[in-house]
A and B are shown apart, each in its own frame.
Chain A
Amino acid sequence: MKKHCGRYTVTKKTFVSRSIIRLSFRAEEISKSAIPGQFIQIRVSDSFSPLWPRPFSIYDADTRRGEISIIFKVAGYGTNLLGGKKEGDSIQILGPLGNGFPIPAGGSAIVMAAGGIGMPPLYLLSKFAIENGVRPNSIIFISGARNKSQLFDPVELTELNMDLRKCTDDGSEGEKGTVVDILERLIGNENNLTVYACGPSAMLKKIDRSLSEKNISGFLSLEELMPCGYGICSGCAVKVFPDENRGETDDNRDYHLKRVCAEGPVFKAGEVMWQ
């Protein structure tokens, strides 16, 4: 699939909260082909500091305006530089990258499990699912974070009219508890559902275990730092269970490696060998 690399202009910058920022870019070709779960690599500085671009899930793709958006939390050196960009600035972007989620078409119940920074791709997935004929109120969207100020809670999420269940570890917004707590309660009663999850790897690992215990299908979107983001360096590879028909290898490893950027970032539940 064609990937686009170039300098794109920041068209809009809004603060979702004090440290959570939404940036939109004029990137017509990327907006047309992007699907939920795909990401872009942004080179946050034209210098060599930091050296690697940073990956961001596509939050929204507006084909009419030819724009794509991301939402991110200012958390480190790279996101700090990105947060300093202003409308009109141009920045190197590569995308769209990776394999997205399969788009739900209804049938079984749908649960989105978004932990902190995992919200953006699941918002876009919900939007696509609804456009695909899924009834908004049949989607349970769990959005959680440590506390209210860390919660990714843009107004567009509420506007989709899904069964939105917010939660925080300290109870400062929504229900008190983690995304995993709420999800486990849900799947305790029901197993004819499909779970789509994105968030920190500790959360994904727990969700993956719960899903396999109950034999529930799901898709998990992983996040890794990536030197290239388009499959040429193999630096972001994660362990998966090896194929029985793998044949003889030179180094006899008990795992197989898949590149998060190219074979992922979305993996089927049960596929990843967690560390």
Chain B
Amino acid sequence: MSANLSVEINGLKFKNPVLTASGCFSYGEEASEIYDLSLLGGVVTKSLTYLPREGHPPPKVHETASGMLNAIGLTNVGLERFLSEKLPFLAGNDTNCIVSIAGSRLEEYARLAERLSDEEDVDALEVNISCPNVDEGGLEFGAYPEPAGKVIAAVKDKFPRPLIAKLSPNVTDIVNIARSVTDSGADSISLINTLVGTAIDVKTRSFKLSNGFGGLSGPAIKPVALAMVYKVASAIKVPVIGIGGISSASDAIEFLLAGAIAVQVGTACFFDPLAPVKIIDGIREYLEDNNFDDVNDIIGTVRQ
């Protein structure tokens, strides 16, 4: 018999522990032209703001050693177009739909959560309090325990289904932030968002990104992400979702062993569109090869 891959976060069942990360999958339509999204444990949308955003001017991305910098600037279609155009498409796939929300004020998060709570097709919210790329877009909340907790409490008040808080690695002590958001009602924590970075063109002596700074992602950040996931998963009780440079099944399994109940695949979707599907197959193979009949049996079992 095939091993059980399903996991659960506060009553919400995922058919497998592999999700696509916010900002790395648009709203799912493009990838559905390559494979069936119903294979996935879940899709996390591009972060949504109340009004549409164009985002930063080009250049918005820069390739680095085993990674990349991005300063997209929360480009998104805004709430109304999301509800009329994007959500119906996502709902037509047999996978969990997790909507990422971002805001410049506490009230914007609450307003988004309230409106999205009416939509049964939205299975969970991921609260982005960690975007490093816009002045007002989240990190001012996510950088300190108290404001991070306040955002989560405001969203929790409006949204009755699972709430995932996405944390930034650009802080002095991520465990403190994790404690604050779980005390405020987060049902799960996802980490990490990108690491702040930059690159300079020595010929023109100017920054390579129009925004100056950007977020570093990709295989280069995996060891940092893995250490943070281990620390947070060891310290708090709610389920943790691991994110950061996951490109293969072996990468994903490392995060599960470190204590993540699920993973999100981000930058790998860019260079290997089939990465999420290959990772699901690879986890199944690993379980069978190692005589586990349930993925839950390996979560957090790294030896000390």
Main secondary structure of the interface of B (DSSP, over half): loop
Instruction: Report yes or no: A227 in contact with B270, Cβ–Cβ below 8 A.
Output: yes
Q: Is B33 a contact of A233 with CB atoms below 8 Å?
A: no
Binds A, one of B24-32, B82-90, B223-231, B289-297: B24-32
- In the assembled complex, the CB of A32 is this many whole angstroms from the nearest CB of chain B, namely 15
Residues in B with CB closer than 8 Å to A49 are 65-66
B12 at the interface (CB under 8 A from A): no
Contacts of B269 in A (CB 8 A): 228, 232
Given contacts A228-B270, A251-B73, A257-B55, contact A52 B63 (CB under 8 A): yes
If the complex has contacts A231-B26, A232-B26, A249-B52, are A53 and B60 also in contact, measured as CB distance less than 8 A?
no
Smallest CB-CB separation from A232: which chain B residue? B26
Q: Pick from A57-65, A83-91, A123-131, A235-243 the stretch touching chain B.
A: A235-243
A234 to B75, Cβ gap below 8 A?
A: yes
In this complex, how many residues of chain B approach chain A with their Cβ under 8 Å: the count is 43
**CB-CB contacts of A129-169 with B at 8 A, as 1s and 0s?**
00000000000000000000000000000000000000000
B160 close to chain A: CB less than 8 A: no
B211-232 vs A, Cβ < 8 Å mask (1 yes, 0 no)? 0000000111000000000000
In the complex, residue of chain A having the shortest beta-carbon distance to the beta carbon of B29: A231
CB distance from B43 to the nearest CB of A (A): 11
10 cross-chain pairs, A with B, having the tightest CB-CB distances, nearest first: A235-B61, A228-B270, A250-B51, A231-B30, A48-B66, A253-B54, A227-B270, A232-B26, A250-B53, A3-B33
Question: Known pairs A5-B273, A43-B271, A253-B55. 18 more at Cβ < 8 A?
Answer: A3-B34, A48-B218, A48-B220, A48-B247, A49-B66, A51-B219, A51-B267, A52-B271, A94-B273, A225-B63, A227-B63, A228-B269, A234-B55, A237-B58, A249-B78, A250-B49, A253-B57, A262-B30
Q: Can you list 29 residue pairs at the A/B interface with Cβ under 8 Å? A: A5-B35, A48-B67, A48-B247, A49-B65, A51-B64, A51-B68, A52-B68, A92-B272, A225-B63, A227-B70, A228-B270, A228-B271, A230-B33, A232-B24, A232-B25, A232-B26, A234-B26, A234-B55, A237-B58, A238-B58, A249-B78, A250-B50, A250-B78, A253-B57, A255-B54, A255-B57, A257-B57, A262-B30, A275-B58
